[in-house]
Structure 1
Amino acid sequence: MNILNRIVSDVHLMFRRPVREQYGALCYRLKKKRPAVEVLLITSRDTGRWVIPKGWPMDGKSAPAAAAREAWEEAGVKGAIGEEPIGSYHYMKGLPQGLKVDCRVRVFALAVDDICKNFPEKGERRAEWVDCAEAATRVQEPGLKTLLLAFEQKMLAEIGAAAKNGTPDA
């Protein structure tokens, strides 16, 4: 029986597709009146579910630059993007032929400072600014839910530390 389990395992590995990589932007802004973080969610074009801007690697662009480009193309936002990912999550991406592939999305924080009126996918998606808790209830991917809530805690801790130190941006 052990040899049969080994053969089944080997066959399964032969047909398993490798994880595909995407880059996403967690677009955020800080509320001025009270310490709060808002994130931008958009709807996917195919299913209408709530997601963050994300896409495939781009030739000649770094991972953070590709994530920033996706944020502009899909949501019309620009800003300062972090050079290091804040985390990642997995989801199953449906392809046009009906095939689904496992994707890992490396997520970069993008501090939004400009919202454009015209951008490539304007009119193809809905976009809403929501707090991180609301965002976590709207997205389907468990890893993205966790990432959103952890991001909020990190940002609120930074805001609190800046306020204690007397930093003017708090």
Structure 2
Amino acid sequence: MAALCHRGKGNNKEYLLVTSRDTGRWIIPKGWPVRGLKSNETALREAWEEAGVRNSEAAADPIGSYSYNKRRGNGFEVPVTTLVYSVAVNDLSEDFPEAHERTRKWVSADTAAELVNEAELKSIFRAQ
């Protein structure tokens, strides 16, 4: 499950990107399903752990999906398709679980589409 975190409206709307821990490339917060949580709740939890998003709400339904290769600890890559949920950000914490492992930044949808690697994720940003 992945979180497309955003703030602002209209021409002032921005999207939150974070760096991946392994390669430092720009991504959106994402993770594996969590038993006992709905998909959108999992996306919101990832937004907290990876980007410090708190006191925010994830849409009930996904706005899209994208595929990527997840590198496992043994070096093998596994193809993964993840659902993307819109998350309206109300508050950001400076102190969050992965704060010392990631960089985050707010960018326009066009800039986000240029920075992320995954073609389907680029399309999601371009549709915003």
TM-score range, shorter chain: over 0.9
Report the counterpart of residue 29 of structure 1 in structure 2.
7
Report the counterpart of residue 159 of structure 1 in structure 2.
none
Taking the aligned partners of 2:119 and 2:11, their CA distance within structure 1 comes to 26
The amino acid across from 1:26 in the alignment is L
Offset of residue 91 of structure 1:
0.6
Matching of residue 108 in structure 1 with residue 63 in structure 2: no
Unmatched segments (≥5 aa) in structure 1: 1-22, 153-170
Unmatched segments (≥5 aa) in structure 2: none
Normalising to structure 2: TM-score of the pair?
0.96
Report the counterpart of residue 88 of structure 1 in structure 2.
65
Normalising to structure 1: TM-score of the pair?
0.73
Offset of residue 120 of structure 1:
0.5
The amino acid across from 1:39 in the alignment is Y
Report the counterpart of residue 122 of structure 2 in structure 1.
145
- 1:6-29 C-alpha deviation (Å, 9 max, x unpaired): xxxxxxxxxxxxxxxxx0000001
Q: Secondary structure at the match of 1:59?
A: coil
* One of 37, 45, 65 as aligned partner of 2:41: 65
Moved over 6 A (4+): none
Correspondence 1:1-170 to 2 at 5 A: 23-31=1-9, 35-78=11-54, 79-150=56-127, 152=128
- 1:77-131 C-alpha deviation (Å, 9 max, x unpaired): 1211100000000011111111111100100000000111211101110000000
The amino acid across from 1:64 in the alignment is N
The amino acid across from 1:55 in the alignment is G
Taking the aligned partners of 1:110 and 1:83, their CA distance within structure 2 comes to 10
Question: When you count helix as a share of all residues, which structure comes out higher?
Answer: 1
Offset of residue 35 of structure 1:
3.0
- Size of the aligned set, in residue pairs, is 127
The amino acid across from 1:121 in the alignment is E
Across the aligned residues of Structure 1 and Structure 2, the Cα RMSD in angstroms comes to: 1.0
Taking the aligned partners of 1:113 and 1:131, their CA distance within structure 2 comes to 17
The amino acid across from 1:89 in the alignment is Y
Taking the aligned partners of 2:12 and 2:120, their CA distance within structure 1 comes to 22
Taking the aligned partners of 1:58 and 1:30, their CA distance within structure 2 comes to 29
Taking the aligned partners of 1:36 and 1:103, their CA distance within structure 2 comes to 32
Ranked by relative contact order (alpha carbons within 8 Å, sequence separation 6 or more), the top structure is 2
